[in-house]
A and B are shown apart, each in its own frame.
Chain A
Amino acid sequence: MYILRAENFGVRIGNRWILKDIDFRLKRSQIYVLFGPNGSGKTTIISAIAGLPGYEVEGKIFFDDKDITDLEIDERANLGISVAFQYPPEITGVKLEAILKRCLDKDPEDDFSESEMQMIESFKLAEFLNRDINVGFSGGERKRAEMLQMFFLRSELLLLDEPDSGVDVDTLKLMGEQLQKYIDDNEATALIVTHQGGILEYMDPKYACVLFDSSLQCFADPNRIAKELRQCGYQCCIQCNRKVTRPWNDH
């Protein structure tokens, strides 16, 4: 059984098709990487799966064989889908601590357990607990806070939007290793949108593809795609579509 299935899936913003008529399936306990040039619609795919507003979706999305195409954001979240935003909003007066407790289904007056506190410390966020969420957070602090929220939600499908953009090497390593461990320990699945692929160095993803021209292309080994991209950019990467075909649907 697949954790996520998209059938005849398309996303439109106004008159523009970001994606058209694609099918893909994601298995449990796997990490998928979605590459794509700026503006290709990577964020849109994640947003459409999470049910965020502002998009018109065609086709069907199934989570654990349940049709979620028409579900609200929180209904999808309750099933186990979570998002790490590329640009999470700053919310005046809403503390990181309050949100983490909601993620853990705790009351505001409940304390964090020892292991939860350890997790917060390993993400170097203890001193941010009483800060307004994302207000004055650096790029790395935002990304770490986003990932920690996903873990506290006990999500099964983790959608990560550019978790590796604008973060230093230490943070990349921390996030890559923690994510790999979470996926392994929880039989969860991650779909990572990335521009450069920096986080891949610290993980072991098996599947990747490139979003280009409203479709998914070049279903190849993630590290190979990342290497090609570093060498010759997206145009060149698309060329190799002819040479490599390993669509996820066959796995």
Chain B
Amino acid sequence: MERSLKPSDLTEIPHQILEEAVRAGIEKDDSKRAGTLMHVDRETIYTKINEKFRNQIEFMDVKDAIKKYPWVDDYRWKIVDRDKDEYTRKVAEDFSGGYFIHVKENADITFPLQACLMMAQKEIEQKIYNIIIVDEGANVNIISTCVQHSRAKKASHLGITEYFLKKDSYLNFTMVHSWSEDTFVRPRSAAVLDDGAVFISNYLSLRPAKDVQMYPVAYCNGKSSKASINSILYGHTNTKLDIGSAAILNGPESAADMTSRAISRNGSEMILRGRIEAHDPTARGHLECKGLLLDEKSFIHSIPELIASKGGAELSHEASVGKISDKEISYLMTRRMSEEDAISMIIRGFMDVGILGLPSQLEKEVDRVIDLTADAS
């Protein structure tokens, strides 16, 4: 993408790029957003902040932020270890950009922020680094979509994200992955929560991918900090997903809940991990994982882990993996649904957006994204 093409309005973005982004959940009318950023291949091609929120947020390419604010370095690689693995090392060496989001103290960002990271070139290895800082008392909803354009073959996406939630802040972060059958994906991310901070992290992956492995960690260090980590995964067409998350409860009365729904079909292999560690006697956590296996060619391995190092901590989990129940199908058929309609209602219900803890308007939007993707497959 040439510099000279940098658009000032989303409508100026090449149609075939914008449409793919919209399909993955980007709102075309960015007046409905507090801000929009698009990074395509190795360049941020678009950033816009809604005038309403100009004084409350900073939203720009992370490379620009690093140049503009020396203090950003104080945050970089603070919670993700740059030597964790070959992927973190690759991004630490060189990255093309990513987003920098800074929500200022007590800001109430009533519209969601949106970001789209897209791979449009063949065989590209996209290396992204993102930072999100939510200052004391601020609250914000963010939708981040990662897309492989249908014309880009064999792309790989390495993405680091570090989230900092200050005292009494609220971050509702929804990540939508929309890959292709040959995409290789390695996100690495971590969040740290101060006193009273609330982090709701949602992950949706509904299209095929070749290989995705991620294991984000939330450190609930502050008193009464709370992480809610949810995912809806639809693995099909030989997709390999190794998806998990961990919550480390260090603060007094800190809490975590994790809810995931996974559907595996048509040769998909899924490993679903979840780990809650309680290191304070007043911490509590709950983990719930449900897997639905739609055929004999697919596979789900659910690994829930609970670790407590202090007496008094309350941790629990429930996990189930199975095929669609015949009784549920028969039940819906007595309500005049064909067998096929009954099965699709059960599958669609399984991907219930209600588990994500989204504000109602966003819930409707994300529900539509699921409809679009579910229809496409």
* A94-B346, A98-B349, A132-B352 known; A89 vs B328 contact (CB < 8 Å): yes
Interface segment out of the listed A5-13, A69-77, A168-176: A69-77
Q: A92-B290, A92-B349, A93-B351 are in contact. Are A50 and B334 (CB under 8 A)?
A: yes
A contact residues around B337 at 8 Å (CB): 74, 102
B338 proximal to A (CB < 8 A): yes
In the assembled complex, B31 has its CB within 8 A of some CB on chain A: no
Q: Nearest Cβ distance between residue A102 and chain B, in whole angstroms?
A: 6
Does B339 sit within 8 A of A, measured CB to CB? yes
Residue contact B327 to A98, C-beta cutoff 8 Å: no
Tell me if A119 counts as interface (CB < 8 A to partner B): no
Find the A residue at minimum CB distance from B326. Answer: A53
In the complex, are the beta carbons of A73 and B330 less than 8 A apart? yes
Partner of B333, one of A77, A93, A132: A77
A68-112: contact bitstring with B at CB < 8 Å (1 yes, 0 no)? 000011100110001101001101111100110011010000000
From B336, B351, B352, contact of A74 by CB (8 A): B336
Greatest chain A CB density within 10 A among B327, B335, B337, B354 is at B335
How many A-B residue pairs lie within 8 Å, measured between CB atoms? 71
Bound complex: CA A41 to CA B88 (Å): 64
Please give the distance in Å from A11's CB to the nearest CB on chain B.
Answer: 16
In the assembled complex, how far is the CB of residue B313 from the closest CB belonging to chain A, in whole angstroms? 26
Residues of chain A within 8 A of B261, CB atoms compared: 92-93
Question: Which B residues are in CB contact (< 8 Å) with A50?
Answer: 334
CB-based contact B333/A89 at 8 Å = no
Q: Which 3 A-B pairs have the closest CB atoms?
A: A93-B352, A93-B349, A94-B349
Q: Which chain B residues border A153 with CB–CB below 8 Å? A: 335-336
Does chain A have a CB within 8 A of B111? no
Q: Give the residues in chain B near A85, CB-CB below 8 Å.
A: 331
Q: Which of B252-300 contact A (CB under 8 A)?
A: 261, 290
**Interface presence of A149 (CB below 8 A):** yes
Nearest neighbor of A85 in chain B, beta-carbon distance = B331
With CB as the reference atom, state the residue of chain B lying closest to A74. B333
Select A53's contact among B330, B335, B346, beta carbons within 8 Å.
B330
Residue among B327, B338, B348, B352 making CB contact with A89, cutoff 8 Å:
B327
Among residues 194 to 219 in chain B, which have CB atoms less than 8 Å away from a CB atom of chain A? none
Decide if B16 is an interface residue (CB 8 Å cutoff).
no
| Cα-based distance from A149 to B331 in the complex (angstroms) | 11
Size bracket, chain B contacts: 20 to 34
Interface size of A by Cβ–Cβ distance < 8 Å?
27
The answer for the CA separation of A78 and B337 in the assembled complex, in Å, is: 9
How far apart are the CA atoms of A91 and B339 in the complex, in Å? 15
Does B336 contact A78, Cβ atoms closer than 8 Å? yes
User: Which of B336, B338, B346, B354 makes the CB contact (< 8 A) with A91?
Assistant: B346
With an 8 A cutoff between CB atoms, is B18 at the interface?
Answer: no
Can you sample 17 A-B contacts with CB below 8 Å? A52-B334, A53-B330, A72-B339, A73-B333, A74-B333, A74-B336, A82-B334, A89-B325, A89-B328, A91-B346, A92-B261, A92-B290, A93-B351, A93-B354, A102-B335, A102-B336, A153-B336
A contact residues around B331 at 8 Å (CB): 85, 88-89, 91
> A248 to chain B: closest CB distance in Å?
24
B350 interface residue (CB < 8 Å to A): yes
Task: Please name the residue on chain B nearest to A152 by beta carbon.
Answer: B335
Given A82-B334, A92-B290: A74 touches B346 (CB 8 Å cut-off): no
Distance from A86 Cβ to chain B, minimum over Cβ atoms (Å): 12
A216–B141 alpha-carbon span in the complex (Å): 64
Q: Is B345 an interface residue (CB 8 A)?
A: yes
